[in-house]
Amino acid sequence: MKKSVSIMLLMSLLFTMFASVGHAASVPPKLFLEGTQLLSDVDPKIENGSTLVPLAILSEGLGYEVEWEPVMKKVTVKNDSTVIELIIGEAMVKVNDVIMDIAAKPQLMNQRTMVPVRAVGELLGLEFEWKAAEREVHMFRIQPETPAEPDPVEPEQPLPTGYITGVSMDEQSIITIIHTDVQKPVKPLVLENPKRLAFDFKNTTFEPYFNGETRVEVADNPLLTGYKYAQFQLNPLTARLVINIGEDTGYVLSESENAIHIALMPTAEIPTEPEPPVEPEPPVTTPPDDSNGAPFTVVLDAGHGAKDPGAYSKSMTRWEKEFNLSAVLKLKAELEKDKRINVLMTRSDDTFIELADRIKFAQDHKADLFISIHANSYDKTSVNGSETYYYRDNSKALADFLHPYVLAGTGLNDRGVKKAAFKVIKETTMPAVLIEAGYLSNDGDAKALFTESTQDKFGAEVAKGIKAYLKLK
């Protein structure tokens, strides 16, 4: 046995040497697991961009249970949770009874079964890195940060499947995941050598479905060198986004309508942890009579807060939540000059409040108007200006009426009145608008919005508009 292996090794070496003369591309790639080279009697081979390895690499090198069934020409590879079946010459794989397409076909070469290592390894929880210059395939076992301990309180419920429809990064190093029904990950796995953040999205797949992975290289950015995403596991269904980060890179996770944002920034710029949560307000069943006899109640809603900072202004190194709160406080002060208006705020400091609680607050207080203040962000930094959003028909008149006052207040470009299904203006019932005062991704807008005199003007003008709308002269 030993003898035949070494003869084969010699033969393959000779073959390699002859084959590689003058053809760098035909030099067989080397395989490494956690930095240790895996050797085999037959060289790995690259075909159509996929690395094919002899089956022994999977069993002896990687420790999986492997079966070969010659009649069906079927390979079965197993670990604790996953069973993978491949058939020679078929560009598909059966994973725990689900059939998926794969790019590379397993094949017989010189009587040896060669399998696409990446397609199989990733399904079994390995992460891959291809070092093109060295022609090296590096594999890493991904370990959860803490040993998985069954959670007795929350048994895993089969959740409806969410879909990721797009992943992109803007000029402010914010990676945005556009999705339907995907839950925000709690926190990423932190992997070393190279330093990476791996975000897992549970019960999530991609729409349209794709196999393999999408890899994006990022040049000249100290925060990251790139990111990639793939269907990491089918059971349980998990999509994974891995970001190759710099030594001093931190992140802030936030959410907006159908989007999850991962803002990368130097660790020094991470907003401080929110103070211990303030006792939640007891659910209001009967609205308190805090109207002071004023005929009108206006609820002002400063978007975001605390751990949910909203958009980031790179030029001002400040967060949207700060602008929203300042602007709301200015607006409140102006409105309160009129005793006929009872002004209430969903938040009056840097507190995190769920969207549902903002809606409930406005409903419980039987608000006559709901005004939500935000600032926007976009990956093209040239986009600038103020927008006023409404969603329900009973809010369009308020949006149309208020928008000129918004423009007078910000002094920014007119991007018009728009209809969009933001939750807070969709699920409230009174006339409700959401003002995107400007774009923090645009340096000019950001500078204006974080200027005290602009905020004063914004408060005064929007208050004037609200009073005029309520016919309070």
Chain residues that interact with Zn ion, rule: CB under 5 A:
303, 310, 374
CB of 371 to Zn ion, least distance (A): 14
Do the beta carbons of residue 257 and residue 421 sit within 8 Å?
Answer: yes
CB of 36 to Zn ion, least distance (A): 48
CB of 444 to Zn ion, least distance (A): 19
Count Cβ neighbours within 10 Å for each residue of 227-259 and write b for 16 or more, e otherwise: bbbbbbbbeebbbbbbbbbeeebbbbbbbbeee
Please state, in angstroms and rounded to a whole number, the distance separating the CA atoms of residues 187 and 307. Answer: 13
CB of 221 to Zn ion, least distance (A): 24
Q: Write phi, then psi, for 177 (nearest 5 degrees).
A: -110, 110
Q: 133, 16, 117: which is closest to 61 by C-alpha?
A: 117
Residue closer to Zn ion by CB (options 9, 345) is: 345
Residue closer to Zn ion by CB (options 57, 440) is: 440
CB of 430 to Zn ion, least distance (A): 20
Q: Which strand ranges, in their side-by-side order, compose the sheet holding 369-376?
A: 341-345, 296-302, 369-376, 432-439, 386-390, 414-419
CB of 337 to Zn ion, least distance (A): 27
The total number of residues written for the chain in this structure: 473
Residue closer to Zn ion by CB (options 255, 414) is: 255
Do the beta carbons of residue 300 and residue 434 sit within 8 Å?
Answer: no
CB of 374 to Zn ion, least distance (A): 3
Residue closer to Zn ion by CB (options 112, 426) is: 426
> Tell me, what DSSP letter sits at residue 291?
S
CB of 308 to Zn ion, least distance (A): 9
CB of 375 to Zn ion, least distance (A): 6
Q: 166, 162, 228: which is closest to 197 by C-alpha?
A: 228
Strands 259-266 and 213-217: unpaired
Q: 144, 156, 147: which is closest to 235 by C-alpha?
A: 156
Residue closer to Zn ion by CB (options 310, 465) is: 310
Residue closer to Zn ion by CB (options 139, 328) is: 328
Residue closer to Zn ion by CB (options 310, 385) is: 310
Do the beta carbons of residue 344 and residue 300 sit within 8 Å?
Answer: yes
What tokens were used for 308? 């949910």
Do the beta carbons of residue 301 and residue 353 sit within 8 Å?
Answer: no
CB of 204 to Zn ion, least distance (A): 24
Do the beta carbons of residue 137 and residue 29 sit within 8 Å?
Answer: yes
Residue closer to Zn ion by CB (options 44, 310) is: 310
CB of 176 to Zn ion, least distance (A): 13
Residue closer to Zn ion by CB (options 303, 409) is: 303
Residue closer to Zn ion by CB (options 297, 386) is: 386
Residue closer to Zn ion by CB (options 121, 310) is: 310
Measured at CB, which residue is nearest to Zn ion? 374
CB of 254 to Zn ion, least distance (A): 9
3-state secondary structure 319-372: EHHHHHHHHHHHHHHHHCCCCCEEEEECCCCCCCCCHHHHHHHHHHCCCCEEEE
Do the beta carbons of residue 205 and residue 183 sit within 8 Å?
Answer: no
Please state, in angstroms and rounded to a whole number, the distance separating the CA atoms of residues 454 and 408. Answer: 10
Do the beta carbons of residue 172 and residue 377 sit within 8 Å?
Answer: yes
Residue closer to Zn ion by CB (options 239, 402) is: 402
**How many other CB atoms are found less than 10 A from the CB of residue 462?**
29
